[in-house]
Chain A
């Protein structure tokens, strides 16, 4: 083991003018100044990242109501979680959200990026129009969504009525909450993913398309056999990013279902209670910070596993040039 490490560094060290071995180099003049210059960031990391991380790990094994010092309770929080139907419900809701959201947004964003990667008149305007929801805050989105989906005054029910169909409860209907929240989130997030895809598309060399055209490939075939494989690294990035972001979804559901009232958020009937919302409520409203920390660590483990699976899986379908 040691030998391989030394073997790798040795050739480099030999090239240095003063000829000192690499191991000592870490603490020589230059190395120390490097560390010095990085120290504000290192300190920041210790105080604001590593510290809280360690604290929350400790809290997850304790009973902590924030007003009194934490009491060590071992695995109690994790046992509680296993028996807590609300935890499983919110985990299920989160997975349901992810399974609907990630493929839908990825696919639609790709289609949109391909469509807007042509030479069209007013192209910039189209791109901008799709990007506007991205930069809007969720509170603004709430008003837009309410204008459409308000069961009483909304556009959607007005249209249904015109067509002679029954009005829906939309966000008030437990069966529709998650699909509707997914739709709204896709609408808001698609512009961002589209921009990432546009960048990916523009790096696909044009001569490949030309070559395939000469061989008689149609648009569909070019898309299937050239575009998709060549932008697979972008797709991989997008998948990981959006999976993580759905597991962290908080603000959108808090705003859209709770309208600023944490006790109402996640409804109706827990149909939109996702993990982050549940965790926040347990910790900050019901003052079970220990339990909330435990949920956060489980959430981290799930994300870690999912990312690991995606990393493994990428070998099969991601092509790097």
Chain B
């Protein structure tokens, strides 16, 4: 036995190290809170919350300033942060939720709110929203409402789609700027004049080569800045109101597809292969290679950085005058597993974000999103936030007919399936009828796999 002493003490030491190491990663959040001296003067108990958000360099700095301000106002709440660039943020978040170590409140892309809600990771905020927020003062509270009328998040900033147009390219071609009365057909007629091939011919000229386009009339990709608003304004769509069934295979969608496929085959609209020759799908318009784009508010930054001479207007109408803009309300979501105490502290943060004019103003100045609070959005802080685009009001007006992107728990997956089939039609590898019927089956299969289990 004596000889084994070395072994046991060694194992004991190892065990201690392991326990210590796992304790550090698991309980670190709580330990940090307990270590800071409690502030007695406000009588409240110290609460520490973990706040997660995705960010770029500039937004990270601004966010930290706003958090400091929040802590000053709420001396009993300490905020620890966790931030990362967009992609990494979600990868980490999902594994953290799995391990029960997710932030108490996090910034969710608008299209993911329902994923967290329907998989039981997000807290139902209906009661608190009804109690503390006056719905008429905000844009987009309803964008996080599910079919049963429950709210799962509060918008942090709003992205809504409008039509961007490059004034220089319009001037050069001697064409009038887009009007608010345009239908999609009007857009295409003008776009044809703005589509130029390698030989300098436009899509209207004889001998125009759609395979060697240098400048496109309209750039267009995927759902948000692509097919969503076209299909919706033609009276079609992808999912029903509950977002649990496919409504892909309809005559309205076929009409919308005829408009899109024709535009791509004539070289007027960027098709999926055209897009691959650019650095990214979003690079076409800022590089001056397209006269128009469907774009959300965040695209203002890239257009300004590129020094384009451009403006924005409402998206065109469908044949029957229906108009639909895509909208994404990136939102604060509270962790379902957080303790009541932490959840309430997290709610204080959300309230601070939404209700305080100063916070809203500072975030607006950053220029990433349309502010949630109407009083700020309708003031010069937003409307005169920069020289370009001059017609910022178009973003607010678009919210009147904006629709969310059929968000649900399997959004990413059905969008992928739809895109696959749509691309076959866009590239002429399948007829529109075939693509729509295949897309219908594929999207329904994805939905059934989750909702009919």
Contact = CB atoms under 8 A, between A and B. Distances in A.
Interface in A14-63: 29, 32-33, 35-36, 39-40, 43, 47
B58 interface: no
A287 interface: yes
Interface stretch (A64-72, A92-100, A120-128, A189-197): A64-72
A260 B282 CA distance: 14
Interface in A89-128: none
B280 A150 contact: no
Interface string B223-239: 00000000000000000
Interface residues of B, number: 37
Determine chain B's interface SS by DSSP, over half rule.
Answer: helix
B3 A172 contact: no
Contact of B6 (A33, A150, A260): A33
Given A39-B10, A40-B14, A269-B420, A67 B94 contact: yes
A151 interface: yes
A152 B277 contact: yes
B7 A35 contact: yes
Interface in B244-292: 272-274, 276-277, 280
Contacts of B94: 66-67, 284, 287
Interface in B1-33: 3-4, 6-7, 10-11, 14, 18
Contacts of B410: 286
Contact of B11 (A33, A39, A171): A39
A286 B412 contact: yes
B121 interface: yes
A282 B27 CA distance: 31
Interface in A261-290: 263, 268-270, 284-287
B429 A263 contact: no
A32 B8 CA distance: 10
A304 interface: no
Contacts of A36: 6-7, 10
A89 B16 CA distance: 49
Contacts of A229: none
Contacts of A67: 94, 97-98, 116, 119-121
Determine chain A's interface SS by DSSP, over half rule.
Answer: loop
Highest count of chain A CB atoms <10 Å: which of B121, B276, B413, B416: B276
Contacts of A270: 420
A197 to B, nearest CB: 36
A260 B277 CA distance: 15
A32 B7 contact: yes
A151 B3 CA distance: 73
A150 B277 contact: yes
A295 to B, nearest CB: 16
B11 A172 contact: no
A268 B272 CA distance: 9
B142 interface: no
A47 to B, nearest CB: 8
A172 B14 contact: no
A37 B67 CA distance: 48
Contacts of A151: 273, 276-277
A254 to B, nearest CB: 12
A115 to B, nearest CB: 36
A300 interface: no
A269 B273 contact: no
A68 B99 CA distance: 9
Interface in A137-182: 150-153, 167, 169, 171-172
Given A66-B97, A287-B119, 7 more contacts: A32-B6, A65-B119, A66-B94, A153-B277, A171-B276, A286-B413, A287-B115
Interface of A: 29, 32-33, 35-36, 39-40, 43, 47, 65-68, 150-153, 167, 169, 171-172, 259-260, 263, 268-270, 284-287
Interface of B: 3-4, 6-7, 10-11, 14, 18, 87, 91, 94-95, 97-98, 115-116, 119-121, 211, 272-274, 276-277, 280, 410, 412-413, 415-416, 419-420, 423-424, 427, 429
